[in-house]
Structure 1
Amino acid sequence: MTRMTYLTLAATTALLTINVAAATQASSPIPLRIELTPKNLGMGKGTLTVSLTFARIPAQTAKSALLSLPLIDSNVDSAAPDIRDLTATDSLGQVHLLESTRDMPEISDRDSEIGGPSVVWSADRKIVGPLTVSYIVPAHATKPPRGPAPPIGLYEADRATSGAASMFLPLPLYDGKYSVTIHWAASIGSEKSTNVTSLDSGANTISTIMDRAEIYATYMMSGAIQAWTPSGADQDFRGAWQGQPNFDAAALMSWANTLHGHYKQFFNQTASQPYTVFLRYNPINAGGGVGLYHSFVETYGAEAGSDPDELKLTLAHEMFHTFSPYITDPTGLLSSWFGEGLAVFYQAALPFRFHMISADLFLHSINYSAARYYTDIFATSPNSEIPDMFWKDTRIRTLPYDRSMLYFATVDYAMRSKTHNKKSLDTLVLGMLAREKMGKSLSNSDWESLLRENLGEESVQHFRSFLAGEKPVPASAAFGACFERYTTKLRRYELGFEPAVLAEPKRVVRGLVPNSAAAEAGLHNGDIIVTPVPQDQIQGEQNTKINLDILRNGQKLKITYLPRGEFVDVYQWRKIKISR
């Protein structure tokens, strides 16, 4: 089954933020040139030289925050502390910059948030004319993992580097549009580089119109990488990978390209819009990934994350995010039930509908989520509790994915039953998308409006009960007439100690549960867990053991156990024979 995926909007490692919260949006896009020069990639000490030129700076005051880069984005440390040789000039000459740390305003984009504690550079005077900012950042600026997190940090390996703009690329804190030109200069001190971004593949210079959030969420890969392009007329899709996967990466890209074409038809997309899939190695939580601007970053490993079927489901999930509507009121993770739940539902439903996966893989996707949800001791936790606990406990973090998928299955079945299959969940999703395309910021009330219009007031109350924590139970035939629901017994996930430990920079065991599998395996309170431990996948796998690298009184130990507790009843689905 697919590894956990996190939708993020990267907040930028050399983010030049201009504090224009009170300023009005400019009438025309601000020209912004981004020039990137890789150097010595593959030697372990590679760098990126970055030069940014803003044709004009929005309204500002002397000593206002001119440059800003969040320190942490989606549980990943940015390269803000690693920036060196930072210089700035405008029409009057050198601009002296003062560095500080501030808590910058957080804004919502889709179901992620941008901002928070940031490195901020203030100018000693008002900027006059175009501003050029230059600096150097390590090509490998990835810090020790805090725990579960998307693969957005700058990562140098296999004579290449990759990362999200939020980790290293400066931008002003400006809500208007930019006319962005990204130019890759020739690499220095290393072999010839191939350069791919979320915006296109292979070109050294790319130009487009983007807003701040879209630039934040742009992914870049440069060096000795492999790039894949389709042979047909549809040239929107691109693929690129860093390193040497132990599966046929080109075949996987071809499959994803075909699915991308089906998605374009499903969502009635006629305009050309680039979409790029990136692959890179992940030694910790292989198989997971992150959806970014017009792109998806998927990770692979030596064992986990090397199954093409699992990778296909992950690709189907994240590609759906690129096309689907998003609820942005309420902000951030409070609305993740919508975007993530839909993506889990459709990651199997659409490829199965398009005859691109087998019935067995379709069932595998459904049953994995159902098993993980119905064994979750926090299954009835209200949606309002998710943001505070999302990064602290896998059992909370998976709720927007699993519980919401099951809820959408109940809605889909209700729509099909009422209309004799003339309407389905598709009708509501496309209805939300139509509102979004009209420029409306979507909220829960928009969803309720469509529910009320199609299924009546009772469906609205059902939705509100779902948000309050009520367990969704899809009908036996909810996933099709050839499948049926049955009940079986599975064991709850039980880590055996305080789950928040695994999301902390220093993982010191506390809250050890007496008589748990962890305690019986020899784990002690006060043990230091040296290596990060991904849980989201293990939580859904009944027979997968957890491996802990422990430091105790200066001695290194390995502790392995099956993180399971009591047996509980769960719903699953299976194929049935239909008589004709």
Structure 2
Amino acid sequence: MALRLEGVSIAAGEALLGLPLVTGNVDTVATVLSGLTARDEDGVLSLEARDAAPAMEDGYGDDAQAREWVTNRATRGTIEVEYSVPAEATLPPRGPAPPYSFLQDGGGVSAAGHVFLLMPPGDTQYRTTIDWDLSEATPDSRAVSSLGEGRVEAGDAMTANTIRSGFYMAGDIETWPEDVPSGGFFGAVQGTPPFDAAELLSWSGDLYEQYAEFFGQEDIPPYGVFLRHNPVNAGGGVGLHRSFVTTFDEDSTPEGLKSTLAHEMFHTFQPRLDEPGGLASSWFTEGLAVFYQSRLPLRFGQVAPEDFLEDLNSHAARYYTSAMAEAPNSEIPARFWADTRIRTLPYDRGMLYFVTVDHAVRTASEGQRSLDDLMLEMLRRQQSGETLTPNDWEEVLRAELGESAVEDFRYFIDGAKPVPASDAFGPCFTRTTETLRRYELGFDPAVLAEPVRIVRGLDPDSNAARAGVQDGDEIVRPVPQDSIQGQQDAELTLLLRRNGEEFSVTYLPRGETVEAYQWDRVESVPASACGL
């Protein structure tokens, strides 16, 4: 890696460079990078590493600790930095996490900037150029970042955190279209998916253009979708700066990835609450994205009603069977990575809450208005420079539906279950009740989010215990949980280590039965009438 920093002045004893130690539950290369050197117009800069607990304004996001490199003297003029990082994951995965880490696969390499880009602390904005040296790569190698292919100059000034929020992929990779455009949608693929990646990316590009029209954007900025292999939690992904990363395995299908792509591309356009930031406001960010991830493709004719119904019922089953369904929103930030049932709450409960708001607005306005109008009003406020908070949402609710809607919102934040009306999803779908089983891991769920996963808190009456899991077993590989909560028949396979021997245990992670809401297709209504 080589960085060239111009217009940066660092005093003696201050941090020249920094990188979080862990970001999004993923270890960065801060502890394993090598060959770090820095020089300016006066020569070599001596750097000393230190670990610090940074503030938000230091530019590390909400990560708890960072490694910084302090300069022995004041810098002068242009600063040039070089260092090397391993081109593959060098630290064991901690558990559920976004696909940030280095992956060397299929003749290519990829990673999010979060895990490897050293930058000066702070929120300074930089005119940014990204360039690649492929002189020692295999013939026909290519390089793509969130800003486009090859050498790219960012159109807007970027902070260090924004630069890190890009994704980077190089080597033997494929793109769609073949010639990556300077603006609009593009895709890049590392490895060999078990489906037609070009067809999936073409569908995604069409939807992205529909989103841009829906949000009134005429000049569409660059937006990239990156596909790469993940044998542990395929189908998941993460939204980054003007890009989204999703993953596949040998069983992945394009249908299974479409809702994920629709969800994450929506994030690019939607409003976000500024205060409180992060996971505390994920009910708003993720709830809206789940609401629209199937609603808009159905409206645009890009998915069938049956696909919409499958997505809806998966989220509804996951939520209404959850033992944590009524946990207050205040518990989400601290327990997000430790318990999959908490982690999915902003998505499922948030979506169902917004469905109730949408139905109330449509009913009160006799179909003339919808959640679209409230969401776009929040976006208008944000684009005008306002700092969005829950108070803004309450103001919008109060103006549209009155004080009772504000009270309902506060109950929702405190954990109240949203229950949409039978026809809240339109004339094609009607609510029903089914007997389903709760998701039950069988032991302390925090175990799966730890670097060394040692089973504890085993319930002796659980299916895990009946299958042979014991307290003290080490779970060798991370396992996905988020999606299988909504799949009643999905089994969980654990690779365990006990007394030095490894073996697999498979069981159905389900417990007691409960009544849960689902929706059925009204067959007498044609598909053409389904899109709200």
TM range (shorter): over 0.9
1:206 to 119, 141, 153: 153
Checking the alignment, whether the CA contact within 8 Å between 1:327 and 1:339 is kept in structure 2 is: yes
Offset at 1:115? 3.5
Partner of 2:81: 133
What amino acid is aligned across from residue 206 of structure 1 in structure 2? E
Find the aligned partners of 1:378 and 1:146 in 2 and give their Cα distance.
Answer: 23
Partner of 2:530: none
2:136 to 188, 194, 198: 188
Partner of 2:19: 69
Task: Provide the secondary structure at the position in 1 that maps to 2:470.
Answer: coil
1:80 has 2:21 as partner: no
Find the aligned partners of 1:186 and 1:524 in 2 and give their Cα distance.
Answer: 50
Partner of 2:68: 120
Q: Percent identity?
A: 49
Checking the alignment, whether the CA contact within 8 Å between 2:183 and 2:221 is kept in structure 1 is: no
Partner of 2:311: 365
Partner of 1:289: 237
1:160 to 108, 113, 129: 108
Partner of 2:371: 425
Offset at 1:557? 1.9
Partner of 1:557: 503
Task: Provide the secondary structure at the position in 2 that maps to 1:378.
Answer: coil
Partner of 1:460: 406
Find the aligned partners of 1:539 and 1:485 in 2 and give their Cα distance.
Answer: 20
What amino acid is aligned across from residue 524 of structure 1 in structure 2? Q
Checking the alignment, whether the CA contact within 8 Å between 2:273 and 2:284 is kept in structure 1 is: yes
Offset at 1:157? 1.2
Tell which deviates more after alignment, 121-130 or 206-215. 206-215
Checking the alignment, whether the CA contact within 8 Å between 1:383 and 1:469 is kept in structure 2 is: yes
Partner of 2:124: 176
Offset at 1:386? 0.5
Tell which deviates more after alignment, 63-72 or 137-146. 137-146
Checking the alignment, whether the CA contact within 8 Å between 1:219 and 1:292 is kept in structure 2 is: yes
Q: 1:233 to 1:506 in 2, by over 3 A?
A: closer
Q: Give unmatched runs, 5+ long, in structure 1.
A: 1-49
Find the aligned partners of 2:525 and 2:51 in 1 and give their Cα distance.
Answer: 69
1:329 to 271, 275, 283: 275
Partner of 1:51: 2
Checking the alignment, whether the CA contact within 8 Å between 1:82 and 1:141 is kept in structure 2 is: no
Offset at 1:179? 0.3
Find the aligned partners of 2:462 and 2:249 in 1 and give their Cα distance.
Answer: 30
Tell which deviates more after alignment, 60-69 or 264-273. 60-69
Partner of 2:358: 412
Q: Give unmatched runs, 5+ long, in structure 2.
A: 527-532
Find the aligned partners of 1:205 and 1:560 in 2 and give their Cα distance.
Answer: 48
Checking the alignment, whether the CA contact within 8 Å between 1:230 and 1:257 is kept in structure 2 is: no
Offset at 1:477? 0.5
What amino acid is aligned across from residue 464 of structure 1 in structure 2? R
Tell which deviates more after alignment, 377-386 or 224-233. 224-233
Find the aligned partners of 1:212 and 1:174 in 2 and give their Cα distance.
Answer: 7
Offset at 1:145? 1.3
Structure having the higher strand fraction is 1
Checking the alignment, whether the CA contact within 8 Å between 1:501 and 1:507 is kept in structure 2 is: yes
Q: 1:232 to 1:114 in 2, by over 3 A?
A: closer
1:532 to 478, 487, 510: 478
Which residues of 2 match residues 224-243 of structure 1 at below 5 A? 224-229=172-177, 235-243=183-191
Q: C-alpha deviations, 1:496-531, integer Å up to 9, x for none? A: 011000111111111010211011111111111111
Offset at 1:65? 1.5
Q: C-alpha deviations, 1:98-128, integer Å up to 9, x for none? A: 112222223599xx94442111110001111
Offset at 1:544? 0.8
Checking the alignment, whether the CA contact within 8 Å between 2:62 and 2:278 is kept in structure 1 is: no
Q: C-alpha deviations, 1:189-215, integer Å up to 9, x for none? A: 5334211110113x3343432223321
Find the aligned partners of 1:326 and 1:548 in 2 and give their Cα distance.
Answer: 37
Q: 1:511 to 1:176 in 2, by over 3 A?
A: same
Partner of 2:529: none
Partner of 2:56: 106
Offset at 1:246? 0.7
1:144 has 2:92 as partner: yes
Task: Provide the secondary structure at the position in 2 that maps to 1:409.
Answer: helix
Q: 1:133 to 1:114 in 2, by over 3 A?
A: farther
Aligned CA-pair RMSD = 1.8
Checking the alignment, whether the CA contact within 8 Å between 2:167 and 2:240 is kept in structure 1 is: yes
Q: 1:420 to 1:231 in 2, by over 3 A?
A: farther
Q: 1:351 to 1:474 in 2, by over 3 A?
A: same
Task: Provide the secondary structure at the position in 2 that maps to 1:430.
Answer: helix
Partner of 1:343: 289
Normalising by structure 1, report the TM-score: 0.88
Partner of 1:18: none
Checking the alignment, whether the CA contact within 8 Å between 2:428 and 2:525 is kept in structure 1 is: no
Task: Provide the secondary structure at the position in 2 that maps to 1:138.
Answer: coil
Normalising by structure 2, report the TM-score: 0.96
Task: Provide the secondary structure at the position in 2 that maps to 1:270.
Answer: coil
Q: How many residues align?
A: 525
Find the aligned partners of 2:353 and 2:491 in 1 and give their Cα distance.
Answer: 30
Partner of 1:497: 443
Partner of 1:89: 39
Offset at 1:317? 0.4
Task: Provide the secondary structure at the position in 2 that maps to 1:328.
Answer: coil
Offset at 1:187? 3.4
Tell which deviates more after alignment, 208-217 or 426-435. 208-217
Partner of 1:383: 329
